Amino acid sequence: MPFGDFVNQIPPIGFLAIHFVAFAIGSVFAWRAFGNGSTGLGWGFALFALAEISYMTYHLDWTTFLFAHTVSEVLDLLAMVSFFVAAVRTVQRPGEARP
């Protein structure tokens, strides 16, 4: 028995609930960030929320696992890049020289 096999006993509605909560959190954070003028953070959280929707498509039997997982990972990677860019712009002062 592989490690984590117990997860197969969780009904699909459990996974949908987890991904929906994560989607809701990402959406609220994106909305707040855009409203605050933090577009980099807003896009990062919006991409994260889209990734959660992609994960949900598998649990709704709309897509295959590998497809949904791949799309979600790409969206999460783009979200991470957006967070990084937002962080660098926040820390870096306009007058400082860039390496």
pLDDT (tens digit per residue) in 18-61: 999 999 999 999 999 999 999 999 999 999 999 999 999 999 99
Tokens matching residue 93: 């002062």
**In angstroms, what is the C-alpha Rg of the chain?**
17
- Give the model's pLDDT for residue 94: 61
Q: Which of 93, 97, 92, 53 is nearest to 72 (CA)?
A: 53
